[in-house]
């Protein structure tokens, strides 16, 4: 699929009709979302034929985009059930199948190999455990409403993914993110792929201007090899 086509299809998705400010619900615009996924696939082979999880999927922009790029299995997770239903409709409108789970990211329990005792891992036939998710894509809350929300997402992403985590974070927090990823969350590498302008729409009544442009970084984190 061509980039323009992907961007066009993502632009047609229904987005949060009544965004919940405390959950930082603003959609990833089609321009950013399409480039994020396109880079993940074309530069790193991280989407097509993979198991992709979208953390805080909202109305499903990144999940649907991953399915359009032919991820083999897409799992979207969000704390807000209304958004999940919209994500489901968005996928159905494009005749795509994505799986959705209603959960708080910080309480999510996806089977990860670290939680399984080493002696069980050696005998794979009896307890063939492993990390199912290849790639996590996310546009997490920036943590402006609830401190640390972005870090909860990042640390869970790095636990669950076996290949890579793609995420957006405010450019102003770049050094902090890098330090936290490498020291706190056990990333093998943390790289800013590009800087983008993120137009926060007037979803928030307290914003005076129609749209507030902020600088965000597109990150790629690689987890330490699991076991």
Partner 1 sequence: MRLLTHNMLASNVRGATTGYPLTLEATKWCTKEVELNADFIRGLLPKIDWRALVDATRALGLPELLPEEQPPEEEIFAEGAADVEGSAIRRIHHALLEVHVQEGSLVCPDTSRCFPINKGIPNMMLHEDEV
Ligand X SMILES: C[S@@+](CC[C@H](N)C(=O)[O-])C[C@H]1O[C@@H](n2cnc3c(N)ncnc32)[C@H](O)[C@@H]1O
* Interface residue list for partner 1 (CB under 8 A): 49, 51, 72-73, 75, 79, 81, 84-85, 88, 97, 99-104, 107-111, 115, 124-125, 127-133
State the residue for tokens 């063939």: 128
Residue 135 interacts, among ligand X, partner 1, none and using kind-specific CB cut-offs from 5 to 8 Å, with: none
Query: Which pair of structure tokens corresponds to residue 38?
Result: 């396109």
User: Measured between alpha carbons, how far is residue 103 from residues 20, 113, 185 in Å?
Assistant: 16, 20, 21
- Could you write out the DSSP letters of every residue in 134-170? -EEEE----SSSSTTHHHHHHHHHHHH-SSEEEEEEE
Tell me how far the alpha carbon of residue 116 is from its chain's centroid.
Answer: 25
Which residue of this chain has its Cβ atom nearest to ligand X in the complex?
56
State in angstroms the smallest separation of the CB of 18 from partner 1: 19
State in angstroms the smallest separation of the CB of 37 from partner 1: 18
DSSP conformational letter for 208: -
Kindly list the residues in this chain that would bind ligand X in the complex (CB under 6 A): 23-28, 56-58, 61-62, 78-80, 83, 104-106, 139, 141, 149
State in angstroms the smallest separation of the CB of 203 from partner 1: 24
Residue 62 interacts, among ligand X, partner 1, none and using kind-specific CB cut-offs from 5 to 8 Å, with: ligand X
């Amino acid at each position: 699929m061509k980039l323009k086509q992907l961007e066009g299809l993502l632009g047609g998705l229904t987005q949060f009709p009544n965004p919940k400010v405390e959950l930082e619900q603003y959609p990833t615009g089609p321009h950013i979302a399409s480039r994020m996924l396109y880079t993940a696939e074309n530069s790193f082979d991280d989407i097509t034929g993979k198991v992709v999880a979208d953390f805080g999927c909202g109305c499903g922009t990144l999940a649907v985009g991953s399915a359009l790029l032919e991820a083999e299995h897409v799992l979207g997770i969000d704390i807000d059930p209304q958004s999940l239903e919209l994500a489901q409709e968005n996928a159905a409108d494009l005749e795509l199948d994505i799986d959705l789970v209603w959960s708080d990211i910080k309480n999510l329990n996806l089977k990860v190999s670290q939680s399984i005792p080493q002696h069980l891992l050696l005998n794979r036939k009896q307890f063939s455990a492993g990390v199912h998710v290849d790639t996590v894509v996310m546009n997490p809350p920036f943590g402006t409403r609830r401190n640390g929300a972005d870090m909860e997402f990042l640390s869970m992403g790095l636990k669950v993914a076996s290949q890579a985590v793609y995420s957006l974070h405010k450019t102003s927090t770049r050094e902090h993110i890098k330090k936290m990823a490498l020291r706190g969350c056990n990333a093998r590498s943390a790289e800013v792929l590009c800087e983008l302008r993120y137009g926060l729409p007037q979803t928030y009544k307290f914003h005076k201007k129609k749209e507030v442009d902020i600088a965000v970084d597109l990150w790629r984190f690689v987890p330490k090899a699991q076991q």
